[in-house]
Amino acid sequence: MRSYLPSGLLLIDKPAGITSFGVVRRVRRALGVKKAGHLGTLDPFATGLLPLALGEATKLAQFLLAESKTYLATLKLGVETDTQDLTGRVVATSDNLPEAEDIRRVALTFVGDLEQVPPLYSAVHHEGERLYRLARRGVAVQPAPRRVTVHRLEVRGVALPLATLELTCAKGTYVRTLAHDLGRSLGCGAHLVALTRLAVGPFRLEEALTLEEAENLENREGLPRGFIPLARCLPGLPAVPVDREQARRLGQGRALPCPEHSLADGDKVRVLLGETLVAVAEVRPNGGGRRLAPVRVFACQETSGRQ
């Protein structure tokens, strides 16, 4: 079976109890998609928005993975685990739980640029090996702290020992580590017991299909809810239209003169032939002028010379 869907993003509302790759595998099999991948892992217990890149959209991963993400997270205060979430072994407890106002006050100190030590049970590399593999063998390591950014953090509710937060953060932020660190700052410890991803960049959970709905898509006229065509996958980048000959040159890896005076050196743009994404290009200086240099090009029948 061959998928009727063109290249683009398929937004999935991931259920609990399945890995992100498990979602990719099931959708690939159900829709007959040859090339597919997810854009940002969700742990098996986590739920929410999991964008799947289909076909040529897999080439956009480097841009889409950098998008900020929004989560709804529930913490259990007074209990720490070795994995920093509900799947781990309890390593510390405390009956000294804070007041709701203290939680709100301390949570505000976690907005901005932070240093975060990756959890031992994570896919981060340490001397060429994944941390979780070292942790499972009982090998003691001290991961180097990394700089992460939390753009927004709001306490949505407190029903001790639980507290629910909504946050928007940059790429590379571990929400379970944020829960752990917040618990430490409150003096009681904490771990993550529930996590739902609400948004990835401009894409929202309410747009997504359930996994079952995605598996039961039928060949039809038009595109289903939750599908983002390739040309609309990077709405934050300016669009630059080109003609067929210019599109062919970009497809061959050749730069074009930059037609837009409003663009700055280093800006990235979507290059469109009509409604077809030809390339993501970057504005670069070129002698006394500027050029559009292709960063990623996409298979495009309109420029192949075939009728």
Which of 13, 43, 85, 181 is catalytic? The answer is 43
- CA-based diameter of the chain, in Å? 73
- As a whole number of angstroms, the distance between CA 141 and CA 150 comes to 26
Q: DSSP secondary structure string, 89-127?
A: -EEEE-S-PPPHHHHHHHHGGGSEEEEEPPPSSSS-EET
Hey, which residues does 239 pair with through a beta bridge? 270
**145 contacts: CB under 8 Å, gap ≥ 6:** 115, 116, 117
- The two tokens of residue 115 are 């240093």
State CA 187 to chain mean position distance. Answer: 31
- The two tokens of residue 149 are 């950014």
- As a whole number of angstroms, the distance between CA 28 and CA 224 comes to 16
Spatial CA neighbour of 187 closest among 297, 270, 80, 271: 80
- The two tokens of residue 231 are 């040309």
- As a whole number of angstroms, the distance between CA 118 and CA 174 comes to 7
Q: What are φ and ψ of residue 209, in 5° steps?
A: -90, 150
Q: Where are the alpha helices (DSSP H) in 124-262?
A: 131-136, 175-186, 211-215, 244-251
Spatial CA neighbour of 76 closest among 66, 65, 87: 87
Q: Is 113 a catalytic residue?
A: no
**206 contacts: CB under 8 Å, gap ≥ 6:** none
The residues annotated with a catalytic role in the active site are: 43
